[in-house]
A and B are shown apart, each in its own frame.
Chain A
Amino acid sequence: MGYEFDWSVLLTYKQLLIDGFIMTLKLSIIGIFFAFIIGSIMGLARVSKNFFISLFATYYVEFFRNIPLIVQMFFIYFSFTLTDIFPWLETFGNSLGLENHNEFFSALLALITYTSTYIAEALRSGIQSLPKGQDEAAKTLGMNYFQTIRLIIFPQAIKLAWGPITSQFINLIKNSSLAMTIGVAELTFQTQEIDSITFRGFEAATAVTLLYLFLTLATSAIMTLVDKYGLIKTSSTKGGVR
Chain B
Amino acid sequence: MSEKLENYFKTHSVLFFVLNLVLIFVLLKLFQVTAYPDANFSEALTPGNIKFILFGMEGELGGLMLTFTIAIIAIIFSFIFGSFLGIARYSDIKVLKIPATMYIELFRALPLIMVIFWVYFAIPIVGGAIFETKISVPALTSAIISFTLFQSAYIAEIIRAGLNSIPKGQFEAAKTLGMNPWQTFTLIILPQAYRRMIPAIVSQFVSLFKDTSLVYIIGVIEFFRAATIVNNRIYMSFEILSFVAIVYFMCAFTLSKIAGYLEKKVEKQINT
Contacts and interface: CB of A to CB of B under 8 A. Distances in A.
Q: Do they bind each other?
A: yes
Contacts of A205: 114, 117-118, 121-122
A213 B211 contact: no
Interface string A40-73: 0000000000111000000100110111111110
Contact of B237 (A52, A74, A174, A181): A74
A180 interface: yes
Contacts of B49: none
Interface residues of A, number: 43
B2 A50 contact: yes
B54 to A, nearest CB: 15
Q: How large is the interface on B (under 10, 10 to 19, 20 to 34, 35 or more residues)?
A: 35 or more
Nearest to B237: A78
A80 B238 CA distance: 9
A59 B112 contact: no
A66 B256 contact: yes
Interface in A166-214: 170, 174-178, 180-181, 188, 191-192, 195, 201-202, 205, 208-209, 212-213
Contact of A71 (B111, B117, B126, B241): B241
Main secondary structure of the interface of B (DSSP, over half): helix
B35 A80 contact: yes
Nearest to B255: A66
Contacts of B113: 177-178, 180, 188
Nearest to A85: B35
Interface string A66-90: 1111111011001110000000000
Contacts of A176: 111
Interface in B6-28: 6, 24, 27
Interface of B: 2-3, 5-6, 24, 27, 35-36, 106, 108-114, 117-118, 121-122, 125-126, 128-129, 132-134, 206, 210-211, 213-214, 216-217, 224, 228, 231, 237-238, 241-242, 244-245, 248-249, 252-253, 256
Given A79-B36, A180-B113, A209-B114, 16 more contacts: A1-B128, A3-B126, A59-B27, A66-B206, A67-B245, A68-B211, A75-B237, A79-B35, A79-B241, A174-B111, A178-B214, A201-B121, A201-B122, A201-B125, A202-B122, A205-B117
